[in-house]
């Protein structure tokens, strides 16, 4: 991913290390296949948390095309690191890279370290470091997991990741959803449930004092070894199959050679 517009923030006492890092980036990026332009340099008068946060926020406001924020930190500053990540991940979302000045202070190791940092940056910008050759032409790999906070019973986090591209490798898309209270939807894995008729499927669920209604499902075609989907639209069940010319059809019941893979329920109302 070309890095055309980025900024590096560093306290005055780390100016030499910051300059050497930028120069090393320029030397190693080309052989790695990464195009990188000279950054916007922001030298800070001190390394206080508020100084970093105000400077980064000001730069993001004045330069909306900014692709990346790089910060050189002195010492182990968990408070500073957390403040930078909160700003760059929540308040003004932009990819960010924090680097401890001690990590880049050894000239003999700087080239190797700079290469590793560039790999991390490339990933954060959406680049692909490695690919896996998958023989299946039409394939999306999806992973879902949920973490429940043991201290706050009403707080949960759902992680979702899926491949996006249809070329020889898999590009990942990831998302984290924070749920306060009952989750807005539920996904049930029903890989081996025979779906000869939708009446086999429960249309309603009751969980955690909430009602959930079935809104969609993924189907697995055993003969052609690919997935399709059924979903409700204006009260009717529809079947979508991207391999068919007539790929969106009204559904009375799934064909007998289809197996249910997963069911998606949406929270309908509170009890």
Structure confidence by residue, pLDDT tens digits, 58-74: 999 999 899 999 999 99
Taking CA atoms, 150 is separated from 145, 157, 229, 257, in Å, by 16, 12, 35, 42
Average pLDDT, the chain: 81
pLDDT 10s digits, 35-58 = 999 999 999 999 999 999 999 999
> Is CATH 3.40.718.10 the right assignment for the domain spanning 182-271?
no
Alpha helices in 71-194 (DSSP H): 78-86, 107-124
Phi/psi of residue 77, nearest 5 degrees: -115, 85
**CA distance linking residue 144 with residue 260, whole number of Å:** 17
Q: The pTM is what?
A: 0.59
The strand pairing partners of 137, in sequence order, are: none
Contact (Cβ atoms closer than 8 angstroms) between residue 129 and residue 136: no
SS3 210: strand
pLDDT bucket at 4, cuts 50 / 70 / 90:
very high
Cβ-based neighbours of 9, under 8 Å, separated by 6 or more: 42, 44, 52, 55, 56, 59, 69, 70, 71, 72
- Give me the residues paired with residue 195 across strands: none
Q: Which of 88, 78, 98 is nearest to 57 (CA)?
A: 88
The pLDDT value given to residue 175: 56
Write b or e for each residue in 143-162: b if 16 or more Cβ atoms lie within 10 A of its Cβ, otherwise e.
eeeeeeeeeeeeebebeeee
- In the numeric block, which tokens belong to residue 96? 């960010």
> Dihedrals φ, ψ of 104, to 5°?
-110, 20
* Domain-wise residue ranges, the chain: 6-124, 132-181, 182-271
Left (φ > 0), alpha (ψ -120 to 50) or beta: where does 6 sit? beta
User: Reduced to 3 states, what is the DSSP secondary structure of residue 83?
Assistant: helix
- Give the separation between CA 84 and CA 69, rounded to whole angstroms: 10
User: Which architecture characterizes domain 6-124 according to CATH?
Assistant: 3-Layer(aba) Sandwich (3.40)
Block residue for tokens 């182990």: 76
Query: Residue 153: pLDDT band by 50, 70, 90 thresholds?
Result: low
Higher pLDDT, 238 or 182: 238
Distance CA 215, CA 229 (A): 11
Contact 121, 21 (CB under 8 A): no
């Amino acid at each position: 991913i070309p890095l055309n517009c980025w900024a590096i923030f560093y306290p005055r006492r780390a100016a030499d290390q910051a300059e050497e890092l930028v120069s090393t980036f320029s030397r190693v990026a080309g052989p790695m296949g990464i195009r990188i332009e000279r950054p916007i340099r922001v030298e800070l008068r001190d390394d206080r948390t508020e100084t970093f946060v105000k400077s980064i926020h000001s730069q993001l406001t004045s330069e909306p095309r900014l692709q990346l924020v790089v910060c050189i930190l002195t010492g182990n500053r968990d408070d500073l690191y957390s403040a930078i990540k909160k700003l760059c991940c929540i308040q003004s979302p932009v990819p960010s890279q924090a680097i401890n000045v001690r990590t880049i202070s050894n000239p003999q190791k700087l080239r190797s370290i700079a290469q590793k940092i560039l790999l991390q940056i490339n990933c954060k910008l959406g680049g692909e470091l490695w690919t896996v050759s998958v023989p299946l032409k039409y394939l999306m790999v999806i992973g879902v997991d949920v973490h429940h906070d043991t201290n706050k019973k009403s707080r949960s986090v759902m992680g979702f990741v899926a491949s996006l591209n249809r070329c020889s490798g898999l590009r990942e898309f990831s998302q984290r959803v924070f749920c306060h209270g009952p989750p807005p939807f539920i996904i049930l894995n029903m890989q081996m449930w025979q779906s000869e008729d939708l009446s086999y499927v429960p249309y309603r669920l009751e969980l955690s004092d909430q009602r959930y209604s079935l809104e969609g499902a993924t189907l697995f075609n055993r003969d052609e070894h690919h997935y399709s989907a059924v979903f409700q639209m204006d009260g009717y069940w529809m079947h979508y199959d991207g391999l068919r010319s007539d790929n969106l059809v009204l559904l009375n019941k799934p064909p007998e050679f289809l197996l249910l893979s997963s069911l998606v329920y949406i929270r309908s109302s509170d009890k």
